[in-house]
Amino acid sequence: MSVSLADSSFLKSYTPSNLPDQNQQQQKMGQYPSTQQPHYSLAVFQNQPDVLTLIDLTITGTFPSYLDEGLLYRTGPGSFSVPFDNAEGELVVNHWFDGFTQNHRFEFSCRRSPYHDGGKGPIGVKYNSRHSTDAHKARIARLGYEPSTGFAQTRPPRKIFGPNPPPAVEYVLQNTTILQDPDVSPPPSALLAAAQQLAQNRPPPADPALPTNPEEYNVGVTIQPKWPGGDASDSDFALVTRTDSNKLQRLDPVTLEPLESFTWARFDSRLNGQVTASHSQIDPETGEEFNFNLELGANATYKVFRISDKGNKVTMLAEIAGAPPCYLHSLFLTKKYVILGVWQAVYKYGGLGVALQGNIVDSLEKRWNPDLPSLFYVVDRSGKNGLVKTFKAPAHYCFHTIGAWDDESTGDVVLNYCKLDDHNVIWKFSLDNLRSLPQDFTHEAAYFAQARLPVVSNTSATSGPPTDLVFTAEGSKLNNIELPQINPGHHLKPFRYVYGIHSTNLTEMPFHGLIRYDTVTNRSLVWAPQNIIAGEPLFVRDPSSGPEASPETELNGVLLSMVYDANVNASALVAIDPNTMTQVARASMPYGVIADMGFHGAFANEFYQSLQS
């Protein structure tokens, strides 16, 4: 659904059919006791319209003047169902991570005024949004099922392979418990034959671009105002979204219209594996981008690569075979190394379930093994020494890394990340859970962890068994934190403060606040007004802090977070002072205009250069 907001008539008339009017909504919210939350799902986790024409947001407080001419982009799910064309019913998304992508754009500019010095007034904010999956949803409506690989959405295998699949595939289809029951051990020969058949039928890598309409693909976990490895060949800027499968999508940085979809194989044909990390690592000084590409199968291999800032040259840093094929969402980078944290979310049977069932979740080993260690693979980022060393740690899980650096005094690598006790979080974010909050609901709490890898800098190759990783600091679930951010001036450098979304009660709706966690004192400050759902806080540095990061200026900047405010049934962009974790400004959308908080974002200046590094 697309809506143009060129005039205000829509703003006055638009009230979602399942919501009370504004006065009733405000009155109802006021009746909730402080220990109880309203039913947020009346508004969020629903299909949201696009705002195709820029609208002015209502400003309270004062946004910092250094945001002038800046742009904030956000990406994440914006709709969760598609009605079928020729049949009753609709496709209903089961998991939050499978929602259809909607991208958001906030434009900051000083209001020109003769009454202010230099003819400038306070910062104003404009907003527009657009779904990037219209062709994909049209295909679902026509076919009556989801044809693409997703995170948790089941794809009917009979629809993919037809009524007469190859014998090896037919064997697996008739014995689906081998993919779902951890206690069933199928004949290895049957699995191998099926995997080989699937590999033979696999389409060739899409190079230079994926076929058909770029809106055929659901790509919306991270967003970067930067072309992978440098500038796009046909323009001075690029806005690119990424996901955990091997797909990227370029958007128009003004209208948010999808322009093309492609894979990492566009830059090097060796990067044709099915899986990658949504969160690439970018060196802010060199502009180089680092990631991995995982090719599933009987001999699953991680290909750790670097792509140059100019010329899009790919350097294969290491090919790691024999490591457990796992679902990894992010990785670490220092000035010397790329580090893969391989956490226990293992693709069963080499990822066979991804091809057969069309999603990641059903292909993962759900039973947690507390005796299976987490592994850390340290790769020389110069490209000279490959895999340098491997470390192991007690079983735990992680979605998001925070940052890493080289300790020059010891030769150690220091890792910082959001640690989870197990991988149950993967299954917790079903839409049924988020919408209804069953009485026994308790979502998993990630907490800060810091670890040291005693890497010997002159080691040229891995040797011997994995070395134990040393945990040097851990937070607590009371200080739970996710979607972590730091002052971007401290990327690849030591830092003290981490910011993220926070839950004040683990039995209620997740992410209803923001937190600043102090890694030195293990103390935190929390911003959590009643009836708020908060999105990832992005730290924008105050440029007056100077080019060099320092402990004295680490708090100099502002946090920007897209929130849903149930008190007024509308979304807003809030600015939070990192020093006090209090709101200094808010840009409010009109009543009833809701932007789901989404996953991740990026801030850029008027030249579309990323200011997040």
139 assigned to some structural domain: yes
Q: Which residue has the higher pLDDT, 67 or 611?
A: 67
312's tokens: 């899009």
**Quick one: what percent of the chain has pLDDT higher than 70?**
76
Q: How much is the pLDDT for 60?
A: 96
- Per the structure, the complete domain to which residue 116 belongs is given by 2-143
98 assigned to some structural domain: yes
Q: How much is the pLDDT for 589?
A: 95
Check whether 395 has a pLDDT greater than 90.
yes
Q: How much is the pLDDT for 210?
A: 47
Report d(CA 137, CA 146) in Å as an integer: 9
348 assigned to some structural domain: no
48 assigned to some structural domain: yes
Mean pLDDT score, 38-60: 83
Q: What is the mean pLDDT of the chain?
A: 81
Binding residues: 279, 329, 400, 600
Mean pLDDT score, 372-400: 95
Mean pLDDT score, 100-111: 93
Q: In what order do the strands lie in the sheet with 482-485?
A: 482-485, 497-502, 513-518, 523-527
Binding residues for Fe cation: 279, 329, 400, 600
Report d(CA 613, CA 610) in Å as an integer: 7
Least confident stretch, 93-97, 135-139, 309-313: 309-313
Q: How much is the pLDDT for 33?
A: 30
The pLDDT tens digits of the residues spanning 514-535 come to 999 999 999 999 999 988 899 9
Check whether 8 has a pLDDT greater than 60.
no
| Residue 430 β-bridge partners | 95
Check whether 369 has a pLDDT greater than 60.
yes
Q: How much is the pLDDT for 477?
A: 83
Mean pLDDT score, 237-253: 92
Q: How much is the pLDDT for 506?
A: 60
The pLDDT tens digits of the residues spanning 418-437 come to 999 999 999 888 888 787 76
Mean pLDDT score, 210-230: 83
Report d(CA 604, CA 251) in Å as an integer: 15
57 assigned to some structural domain: yes
Q: Which of 403, 419, 546 is nearest to 471 (CA)?
A: 419
Q: How much is the pLDDT for 441?
A: 60
Asked if 242 and 307 count as a contact pair (C-beta separation under 8 A), the reply is no
Check whether 211 has a pLDDT greater than 60.
no
9 assigned to some structural domain: yes
Q: How much is the pLDDT for 209?
A: 43
Q: How much is the pLDDT for 170?
A: 61
Q: 256, exposed or middle or buried, with CB in 10 Å at 0-12, 13-18, 19+? A: buried
Confidence of residue 348 (pLDDT cuts 50, 70, 90): confident
Report d(CA 598, CA 131) in Å as an integer: 12
Mean pLDDT score, 67-73: 95
Confidence of residue 118 (pLDDT cuts 50, 70, 90): low
The pLDDT tens digits of the residues spanning 148-185 come to 878 888 776 655 555 666 565 665 555 555 454 444 44
349 assigned to some structural domain: no
Neighbours of 565 (CB within 10 A): 22
551 assigned to some structural domain: no
The domain total for the chain is: 1
Least confident stretch, 64-68, 111-115, 152-156: 111-115
Q: Which residue has the higher pLDDT, 554 or 158?
A: 554
Q: Is the peptide bond before 208 cis (omega within 30 degrees of 0)?
A: yes
Check whether 245 has a pLDDT greater than 80.
yes
CA distances from 375 to 21, 267, 414 (A): 53, 29, 15
Least confident stretch, 271-280, 355-364, 586-595: 355-364
Mean pLDDT score, 348-352: 79
